[in-house]
Amino acid sequence: MSDTSSRNPTGAPQFLANALLRSVGGTTAQLRVAATDTDDAQCEVGLVATTFSDVVLSPVIMRKLRPAWQECDQPKWELMVSASSVQEQVSAFELESAQALFGITLTVTVAGQDYLIESIGTSEAFGQVYVYRLLLREARQQAV
């Protein structure tokens, strides 16, 4: 009789999180990120235009948080993002961590609506992150 059980306990939470996110109607989110090659002095003084990239993360789910019951307070949203898709983009951009990826993110677009990141949280199992939880608020268009 052969043993076919998984010997890598850190991969299971990510697989389960991906399956859960997909099964509850997971969709895609698009991050608009600034270029990571701004070490040049010409970029710092504005001689070279900043470039932007769109990064697609999938699967993600989004839910509206309860209102704060204050008149001028904007509604908040929670975006749950698969850690494996975040790690793919971190390695593609050659960044140190997921925090660096979210740090260079300007907006998050889900279903055509733009959001701004207010805070970032994680869920872990066996010392491995399996879901990133982003607290978002709607990006309002500024009048010019």
Residue 6 lies in a domain: no
Is 41 a domain residue?
yes
Domain boundaries, position 23: 11-68+75-138
Q: How far is CA 102 from CA 50, 108, 127, 135, in A?
A: 17, 10, 21, 12
Phi/psi region, residue 133 (left: phi>0; alpha: psi -120 to 50; beta: rest), is beta
Q: Check if the beta carbon of residue 27 is closer than 8 Å to that of residue 59.
A: yes
pLDDT at 3: 46
Amino acid 46: pLDDT: 64
To the question of pTM greater than 0.75 for the whole model, the response is yes
Q: Is residue 114 part of a domain?
A: yes
Confirm whether 1 is domain-assigned.
no
Residue 128 domain-assigned (yes or no): yes
**pLDDT at 107 (0 to 100):** 92
CA 2 to CA 5: how far, in whole Å? 9
Q: Is 31 part of any domain?
A: yes
- pLDDT, residue 127, reads 81
What is the block-wise mean pLDDT of the chain (144 residues), using blocks of 10 residues?
52 82 85 72 66 88 77 80 92 90 91 92 88 90 56
101 domain-assigned? yes
- Alpha-carbon separation of residue 107 from 29, 76, 91, 144 (angstroms): 10, 15, 20, 19
Q: Looking at residue 13, what is its pLDDT?
A: 81
The pLDDT of residue 24: 83
CATH code: domain of residue 50: 2.40.10
Is 4 within the bounds of a domain? no
Q: Where are the alpha helices (DSSP H) in 72-143?
A: 83-92, 98-103
Total number of domains constituting the chain: 1
Q: Name the residue among 119, 108, 114 with its Cα closest to residue 138.
A: 114
- The reply to whether omega before 59 is within 30° of 0 (cis) is yes
